[in-house]
Amino acid sequence: MRLLEEKILKEGRAVNEDILRVDTFINHQVDPELMQKCAKDFAAHFKGMGITKIVTIESSGIAPALFTALEMGLQVVILKKQPSKVLNDDLYQTMITSFTKGTNYELTLSKEVISEQDHVLIIDDFLANGEAVTGAIRLLRMAHATIGGVGVLIQKQFQPGGDKLTDAGFEVYALARIQSLSKDNIVFS
Ligand code: G4P
């Protein structure tokens, strides 16, 4: 999506060859007009696929997920991160390891908000190693829901998440695909 690519070129900051900071429009300050346009793009792409619910992972996925849910007339479920296992029969939980942040956390889904009738679109901000999305898929499968696709604002193609998901048969749709990063050069695919 050209608009998102332009914003990344204007305001994105490559911290190194792996990490892109997008704090002025996605991760810290959020640009609602841009989010709305991104949501329209996701909604058009996934239209007619029988999606019943949008699922995202807190916290930076919430903005694009909410706008997409509004655009598609659906509810949005936010998977929550908790530091340790919470023993509760009403919850599904799975451990996620974040390579970028060097942390582990339990991703949590309440049985109340997803059912086996749901066909889910997962929306997130970044797709890097794919750990968060893979964990979300594990949780959704515990709930016997099906996955209609994965939409991300930014996919870093030099990291394995996108290929891993595509090889596993998931439809991955990224609005901006970054081929390589360096302090003074961001290259899109
Ligand atoms: P993965 O889920 O694709 O495997 O990613 P990884 O574990 O490597 O990274 C986890 C966290 O780091 C995620 O945020 C992800 O959005 C963020 N992240 C990955 N690459 C980048 C990057 O280049 N720039 C920025 N700004 N963030 C990146 P999170 O832990 O879920 O936190 P939150 O921001 O959603 O609260």
Q: Does ligand 1 have an atom closer than 6 angstroms to the CB of 2?
A: no
| Span between the terminal Cα atoms of the chain, in Å | 11
Predicted local distance difference test score (pLDDT) of residue 129:
96
**97-115 confidence digits (pLDDT tens):** 988 778 889 999 999 999 9
Residue of 55, 81, 98, 165 with the most ligand 1 atoms within 8 Å of its CB, for mutation: 98
- Domains of the chain with bracketed CATH: 2-188 (3.40.50.2020)
Q: Cα 178 from chain centroid?
A: 15
**165-186 confidence digits (pLDDT tens):** 999 999 999 999 999 999 889 9
Return the H-helix or E-strand segment holding 179. Answer: strand 172-182
Q: Cα 131 from chain centroid?
A: 11
Q: Residue 126 Cα, ligand 1 centroid: separation in angstroms? A: 6
Predicted local distance difference test score (pLDDT) of residue 85:
74
Q: Residue 100 Cα, ligand 1 centroid: separation in angstroms? A: 6
At 66, the pLDDT band (50, 70, 90 cuts) reads: very high
Enter the DSSP assignment of 146: E
* Higher per-residue confidence, 50 vs 89: 50
Q: What are phi and psi of 39, to 5 degrees?
A: -60, -40
**114-141 confidence digits (pLDDT tens):** 999 999 999 999 999 999 999 999 999 9
